[in-house]
Chains A and B, each alone.
Chain A
């Protein structure tokens, strides 16, 4: 009985997912019929690029989860803070761009280290819920403190990247999105290699598996924690530059962090490949919904479609497409 039920519920899961995919395809199909297919392709390409830029934000989250087993609800705020620092250097101090980015880099390194040392390290051994609450508190603190210190006026980071789209065959590609997506893939590939192929990467995964046992293997757990938080901070700087350039720098920027959740739930909380695929799926769903559904329903569906997908995913495959299944045998 049990196995049959399991089988059925697994099937049900796939039916739901297939229905959703059919919905997306239908979106595209209808779009092709009533608009033109070039529009559909363009939306899809734009969606994929945007999605990869979501991956760039989500990877910081995954890094922290993979190595410290903590869920960082403040990843979007990291992005915001990094962008605010860079924008502040540009606007207030009139520093050149490269120097501003360097200051932002230094700031995020110190920021990650401080956070690990004074907030997360004392919490080692505490309940995971306590750590989650701490990061939620941190998120709200940063959202308040960022504008307080650096001013609330919206600003932008102008990267020396042309705004006019690159025309490639039938496609119009936004340069900043291309660059963002390329940086994203580069970093994700780098992290994937690190975790799978290097001894330090293996140690980091061991730390995530069990702090105590890793310590007993001679692994300096606290140092790995610090490395994880600093890396998450630095990756947030990249996200902040790309997104800050695109949508401007103010507290709203932190909201891109919310996209992290559908991305990582779809791809799997601890999977680097999952971050890429999850990002692409979320970007696609968003772009197609924005292009083909929103005009008829008066807009707004674009923003919650990825979350619908996320909820379906949670029902059928809580560990995501590529995430590890929790092994329950002892």
Chain B
């Protein structure tokens, strides 16, 4: 569905952030990108959704294809029309607009007002809390509600692919659980393809089909989510479980070396 072929991204014409990243987001599946802070996950999503330019960033090498069509030279607002929408890290709801107005803005590419209202009803079904607060200003919602609104807003454009950037950021475990359940439901019930960036590897891998691990602007590891969930390194770095408890043995030391390389 969505394929990144060996892309490089540069900011301000000097800072090379992605150094040849290839990712395949399969249709109807949930694909996760894991990675430490600063690995380039957000940059990857922004490269796909075409909003890099507003940050003086650019795809300098490689291609991004949506169902075979190149989209890496397109403007962000045209890419939404093609069916790819990004939910930003940190929610980024339109704070001064009401919840309903946020959804209206999200439906900008939908010319028919009737279709827009239909989608709004669908969003309200998935997120009853947003329905209750539809006339309240989005800036006053709780973090969890803002995340729901941000996801709901992305649904308004009738997307084929939703790119979610750290939807669990700064939220309480219960809310995270709720949001991940909804993401999973959207994928199954609406058939939306999902690209997910997460630090919360455990949860992300459990709802995903395929996963990539990114480090320092390159892909270090990839595989079916279940397989990565079993991988010792992933366990230790993201899930906080070490295989032999607290005991220090040769394995731990080896992993530690590997981790150091990871984070350098």
Q: Which residues of A contact B (CB under 8 A)?
A: 124-125, 199, 202-203, 205-206, 209-221, 324, 327, 329-330
State the Cβ distance, A72 to closest chain B Cβ, in Å.
Answer: 20
The answer on a CB contact under 8 Å between A217 and B105 is yes
Taken together as a complex, chains A and B put the C-alpha atoms of A213 and B113 apart, in Å, by 21
User: What A residues does B157 contact at CB under 8 A?
Assistant: 217-218
Per-residue CB proximity of B105-119 to A under 8 Å, as 1/0?
111110001001000
Q: Is B225 located at the chain interface by the 8 A CB criterion?
A: no
The answer on a CB contact under 8 Å between B51 and A216 is yes
Taken together as a complex, chains A and B put the C-alpha atoms of A211 and B88 apart, in Å, by 13
The answer on a CB contact under 8 Å between B90 and A217 is no
State the Cβ distance, A201 to closest chain B Cβ, in Å.
Answer: 10
Per-residue CB proximity of B51-78 to A under 8 Å, as 1/0?
1011110000000000000000001111
State the Cβ distance, B224 to closest chain A Cβ, in Å.
Answer: 30
- Out of B54, B76, B104, B140, name the residue touching A199 (CB < 8 Å): B104
26 pairs across A/B with beta carbons < 8 Å?
A124-B54, A125-B56, A199-B108, A202-B97, A202-B105, A203-B105, A205-B105, A206-B105, A209-B94, A209-B96, A209-B97, A210-B92, A212-B88, A213-B88, A214-B105, A215-B75, A215-B76, A216-B51, A216-B76, A216-B80, A217-B85, A217-B108, A218-B81, A220-B75, A329-B139, A329-B140
Nearest A residue to B153 by beta-carbon distance? A217
User: What B residues does A209 contact at CB under 8 A?
Assistant: 94-97
The answer on a CB contact under 8 Å between B108 and A219 is yes
Nearest A residue to B92 by beta-carbon distance? A213
The answer on a CB contact under 8 Å between B106 and A217 is yes
State the Cβ distance, A295 to closest chain B Cβ, in Å.
Answer: 45
Taken together as a complex, chains A and B put the C-alpha atoms of A211 and B55 apart, in Å, by 11
User: What B residues does A202 contact at CB under 8 A?
Assistant: 97, 101, 104-105
> How many of chain B's residues touch chain A, expressed as a range?
35 or more
Q: Which residues of B contact A (CB under 8 A)?
A: 49-51, 53-56, 75-78, 80-81, 85-86, 88, 90, 92, 94-97, 101-102, 104-109, 113, 116, 137, 139-140, 153, 157
Nearest A residue to B88 by beta-carbon distance? A213
Supposing A202-B105, A206-B105 touch, asked if A216 and B85 sit within 8 A by C-beta, the answer is yes
State the Cβ distance, B148 to closest chain A Cβ, in Å.
Answer: 16
User: What A residues does B80 contact at CB under 8 A?
Assistant: 216-218
Taken together as a complex, chains A and B put the C-alpha atoms of A98 and B96 apart, in Å, by 41
The answer on a CB contact under 8 Å between A206 and B85 is no
User: What B residues does A220 contact at CB under 8 A?
Assistant: 75, 77
Supposing A209-B96, A217-B80 touch, asked if A203 and B88 sit within 8 A by C-beta, the answer is no
The answer on a CB contact under 8 Å between A212 and B55 is yes
List 15 extra interface pairs beyond A125-B54, A218-B81, CB under 8 A: A125-B56, A199-B116, A202-B97, A202-B101, A203-B105, A206-B101, A211-B54, A212-B55, A212-B92, A216-B85, A217-B85, A218-B77, A220-B77, A324-B96, A330-B90
The answer on a CB contact under 8 Å between B94 and A210 is yes
User: What A residues does B51 contact at CB under 8 A?
Assistant: 212, 215-216
The answer on a CB contact under 8 Å between A216 and B94 is no
State the Cβ distance, B95 to closest chain A Cβ, in Å.
Answer: 5
Nearest B residue to A329 by beta-carbon distance? B139
User: What B residues does A329 contact at CB under 8 A?
Assistant: 139-140
Taken together as a complex, chains A and B put the C-alpha atoms of A4 and B162 apart, in Å, by 47
The answer on a CB contact under 8 Å between B54 and A218 is no
Nearest B residue to A208 by beta-carbon distance? B96
User: What A residues does B88 contact at CB under 8 A?
Assistant: 212-213, 216
User: What A residues does B137 contact at CB under 8 A?
Assistant: 327
Taken together as a complex, chains A and B put the C-alpha atoms of A125 and B53 apart, in Å, by 9
User: What B residues does A213 contact at CB under 8 A?
Assistant: 88, 92, 94
State the Cβ distance, A162 to closest chain B Cβ, in Å.
Answer: 45
Taken together as a complex, chains A and B put the C-alpha atoms of A205 and B51 apart, in Å, by 19
State the Cβ distance, A126 to closest chain B Cβ, in Å.
Answer: 9
User: What A residues does B109 contact at CB under 8 A?
Assistant: 217-218
Taken together as a complex, chains A and B put the C-alpha atoms of A327 and B50 apart, in Å, by 28
Supposing A199-B113, A218-B77, A218-B80 touch, asked if A205 and B95 sit within 8 A by C-beta, the answer is no
The answer on a CB contact under 8 Å between B94 and A218 is no
Taken together as a complex, chains A and B put the C-alpha atoms of A203 and B111 apart, in Å, by 13
User: What B residues does A219 contact at CB under 8 A?
Assistant: 77, 105, 108
- Out of B85, B96, B105, name the residue touching A327 (CB < 8 Å): B96
State the Cβ distance, A208 to closest chain B Cβ, in Å.
Answer: 8
Taken together as a complex, chains A and B put the C-alpha atoms of A175 and B51 apart, in Å, by 51
State the Cβ distance, A35 to closest chain B Cβ, in Å.
Answer: 46
User: What B residues does A212 contact at CB under 8 A?
Assistant: 51, 54-55, 88, 92
The answer on a CB contact under 8 Å between A215 and B105 is no
Taken together as a complex, chains A and B put the C-alpha atoms of A214 and B49 apart, in Å, by 12
- Out of B95, B101, B108, name the residue touching A218 (CB < 8 Å): B108
Which 8 pairs of residues, A with B, have the shortest CB-CB distance? A218-B80, A327-B139, A218-B109, A206-B105, A215-B76, A209-B94, A327-B95, A218-B108
Nearest B residue to A198 by beta-carbon distance? B104
User: B97, B102, B108: which has the most chain A beta carbons within 10 Å?
Assistant: B108
